[in-house]
Chain A
Amino acid sequence: MKVRSQVSMVFHLDKCIGCHTCSIACKNIWTDRPGAEYMWWNNVETKPGVGFPTQWEDQDKYHGGWELEDKPKNPQLKLKLQNRLQTLGNLFSNPAMPTMDDYYEPWTYNYGDLFNAPLGEDQPTARPISRVDGKPIEIESGPNWDDDLGGSNIYAMNDPLLQNMSEDEKLRLFSIEQLFYFYMPRICNHCLNAACVAACPSGAIYKRAEDGVVLINQDKCRGWRMCVSACPYKKTYYNWSTGKSEKCILCYPRLETGQPPACFHSCVGRIRYLGALLYDADQIPDATRVPDDQLVQRQREMILNPHDPEVIAAAKASGVPDRVIVAAQNSPVYRYVKEWELALPLHPEYRTLPMLFYVPPLLPVINSTQENGTQRVETELFTSLDKARMPVRYMSLTLAAGNDEEVLKSYRKMIAVRIFKRHETVGDVTAEEAAAALAEANMTAEEAEAIYRLTSIPTYQERFVIPPYSREGDIEEIYDPQQRKAEAGFGRQQAPQRGL
């Protein structure tokens, strides 16, 4: 067992109000530089929708992620983009790149015209100008062009996930009074089996050992842009000004000083949770080679229980610091992902083992008017899949590689918590109904209470359990100057050695 610690995330979609504050916080800190205007390391998409860049989920077009070889015996994982020989052939002309139009052409307005225009009959206007070449442009699209189902008969109808659904299911999604959409904030998933790392011809991308943050070394990057194609989530971006690729760094300078990343900190709906997960790195090859419907379960199996004495011993043997183990024990992510099995990875079928998990969105409370004029919460939402307004099929294609049961399990728990708390606080649901809901979700009242507390009234410290970083301290421990007596001297980065 090779235990590693990973700073992981949970986004509670049921709480997301789609305000884009996270995106703006990120933009203001990291991507307001020339060449980075079009980048949104954090973006919020309306689903169903095409997202950013357009149809990023359509891997027939973008060739992102991994695929399993099509053979019965011992199938191997390979990049959907290309093999090593093809990498060489395509080095100067990467064939699966999103164009600038698929992101959007960044623009600003010529505000100076408002003040400097000569006196005339007409009001001066500020024309939009491109931030790439400075010339006036017609704005055709933006980073969130289909927000709130805007232009849905062009954009939302062409959501790649809908192509796998029946006409009936599609029709219901968009019909009046049945309409369903939700917001999905996306950042880099800091995958365990990152395709961007594997695709980089320069070896510039790496996963940090202490917390699993995936970073691009700006000194090594040669701008081949294979990571841009290979990342199935399209979360690496090419900076045309520096000629290097960039991506979300999970605000590691903030993490290292004990602060949550800017998008987490600024989240208005408090949907974001951050904490360490311990996982068994030896299981990565197996976990990526199971059939689609087992992917979620297999990924959960990789994540280890930080309270288990065996795991703690193995973690210590693997060099995980004690304080990180304590942080992993308090991690809200562990509870959502493993303990409660509420949170699911985004598109596990890309087989990158993403470490950002989503709690699927639930409906608003649905009431029905009773004969005596009182309102009553609906308790039988999930008796049959056909009746559910929420498109379980769509959610399972997004979060569980098409395995409906994983999504339903999560939904049953969420609805049980809702009914349970409704019984406690409002009282229009009987104790029997609440108990029946809990039983159907296969959970105890204590668990429901714990889910409620962490979902609805968590404190800042409960949402963000940042493992302590001790880079300087660790270096000092490793480089004991006394050990270097009579040796070749000191070195900060690399220990000097004698001989070759």
Chain B
Amino acid sequence: MINSSIQINKQIFRLALGALMFLVVGCGAIPKDRQTANPASIKEIAEGDAVNGQKLFMGYAHFENEGPPCMGCHSVGDNGLLGGGALGPNLTNTAVEKTDDDIIGLLSNTGIVISPVMRPIYTDFPLTPKEQADLLAFMKASVGEPEVDKEFWIYGISFAGVLGAALALGFVYRNRLRSVRRILVREAEKELQ
């Protein structure tokens, strides 16, 4: 009984996650032609360009099939002013933790290990073998870099923004009527004493 309910819960969770992904992806561009992803060959991996990989990771360069940049969900080293996303795992040392095949498999959705989150996204917007190789090269290059957590910056900026907006609006509406009767009674009582 309990097991089956957990099972159902898991299914519901997956369904909800799938729906969320559908929303996230569905709201973006409609893929031009659906292509089947090809995993990068050994030769291509060897030719991987870490600099271009970083650009692709951070979104400075576009993926050919318009897939979203990795940094939306992942962090690597101290790349980016406010770091990367916190949804997916930190990938700084992933090249050590996983084999090349596994990583290429994840990126192309063809491996033994497949990410349930990345699969629906990169099925519609597959990465080319060159891009996979470049990303792998970038991850290899970043091994050992310090993992910097910049979340407190995001909190700080949000807080300062809210405070600033409150102060600005408070200034704009500084002359609004707040209370008439209470002030009148307070002043009159002060005078009477």
Chain A contacts to B: CB under 8 angstroms: 50, 53-55, 58, 61-62, 93, 95-99, 101-102, 141, 153-155, 157-158
Among A93, A95, A97, A158, contact of B184 (Cβ-Cβ < 8 Å)? A158
Q: Is the CB of B188 within 8 A of A95?
A: no
Q: Across the two chains, which residue of chain B brings its CB closest to A55?
A: B180
Q: Given contacts A95-B175, A99-B178, could you give 16 more A-B pairs where the C-beta distance is less than 8 Å?
A: A53-B181, A54-B180, A55-B180, A55-B184, A61-B180, A95-B177, A96-B176, A96-B177, A98-B180, A99-B177, A101-B182, A102-B179, A153-B192, A154-B188, A154-B189, A158-B188
Question: In residues 147-188 of chain B, which contact A (Cβ within 8 Å)?
Answer: 169, 173, 175-182, 184-185, 188
Return the 6 tightest CB-CB contacts between A and B, nearest first: A95-B176, A54-B181, A154-B188, A102-B180, A54-B180, A102-B181
Q: A154-B185, A158-B184, A158-B188 are in contact. Are A93 and B173 (CB under 8 A)?
A: yes
A102–B181 Cα distance when bound, in Å, is 5
- A157 CA to B187 CA, complexed, in Å: 12
Residues from chain B with Cβ under 8 Å of A154 in the complex? 184-185, 188-189, 192
In whole Å, how far is B193's beta carbon from the nearest beta carbon of chain A?
Answer: 12
**Hey, which bits of chain B sit against chain A, CB under 8 A?**
169, 173, 175-182, 184-185, 188-189, 192
Return the chain B residue nearest A89 by Cβ.
B172
What are 13 A-B contacts with C-beta separation under 8 Å? A50-B184, A54-B181, A58-B180, A93-B169, A93-B176, A97-B177, A99-B177, A99-B178, A99-B180, A102-B180, A154-B184, A154-B189, A157-B188
> Closest chain A residue to B174 by CB distance?
A95
Taking a contact as CB atoms under 8 Å apart, the answer to whether A98 and B185 are in contact is no
Name the residue on B nearest A103 (C-beta). Answer: B181
Residues of chain A with a CB closer than 8 A to B192's CB? 153-154
Chain A residues closer than 8 Å to B178, beta-carbon distance: 99
Measured between C-beta atoms, what is the minimum distance from A46 to chain B in Å?
16
Residues of A within 8 Å of B189, CB to CB, are 154
CA distance A92 to B180 in the complex (A): 21
B179 touches A99 (CB 8 A): yes
> How far, in angstroms, from A338 to B175 measured CA to CA in the complex?
42
Contact check, A62 vs B184: say whether CB atoms are below 8 A apart: no
Question: Which of A50, A102, A155 has the largest count of B CB atoms less than 10 A from its CB?
Answer: A102
**What's the minimum C-beta distance from A435 to chain B, rounded to whole angstroms?**
49
Task: Report the Cα distance A95→B173, complex, angstroms.
Answer: 7
Residues from chain A with a CB closer than 8 A to the CB of B177 are: 61-62, 95-99
Expressed in whole angstroms, the minimum distance between the Cβ of A224 and any Cβ of chain B is 15
In the complex, chain B residues whose CB is within 8 Å of the CB of A101: 179, 181-182
Distance of A227 from chain B, by nearest CB (Å)? 16
Contacts of A98 in B (CB 8 A): 177, 180
Min C-beta distance of B147 to chain A, whole Å: 44
Name A104's closest neighbour in chain B (CB-CB). Answer: B181
With a CB–CB cut-off of 8 A, which chain B residues contact A141? 181
- Cα–Cα distance between A97 and B175 once the two chains are bound (Å): 12
What residue of chain B has the Cβ atom nearest to residue A93's Cβ?
A: B173
A95 contacts across to B, CB distance below 8 A: 173, 175-177
Bound-state Cα–Cα, A53 to B189, Å: 20
CA of A58 to CA of B179, assembled, Å = 13
Inter-chain CA distance A155–B180, complex, in Å, is: 12
Q: List the B side residues contacting A155 at CB < 8 Å.
A: 184
Bound form: Cα–Cα A141–B181 in Å = 9
CA distance A253 to B188 in the complex (A): 44
A50, B189: Cα distance in complex, Å = 16
Write the chain A residue with the least CB distance to B186: A154
CB <8 Å contact, A153 and B188? yes
Give the chain A neighbours of B182 by CB distance below 8 A.
Answer: 101
Cβ contacts under 8 Å, A62 to chain B: 177
Distance between Cα atoms of A99 and B176 in the complex (Å): 11
CA distance A158 to B184 in the complex (A): 8
Q: How far is the CB of B180 from chain A (nearest CB, A)?
A: 5
B residues less than 8 Å from A54 (CB atoms): 180-181, 184
* Cβ distance B191 to chain A, nearest Cβ, rounded Å: 9
A295 vs chain B, min Cβ distance (A):
26
Q: Which residues of A contact B184 (CB under 8 A)?
A: 50, 54-55, 154-155, 158
Q: A129 to nearest B CB, angstroms?
A: 21
Closest Cβ neighbor of B181 among chain A residues = A54
A399 to B189, CA, bound (A): 30
A95 to B185, CA, bound (A): 22
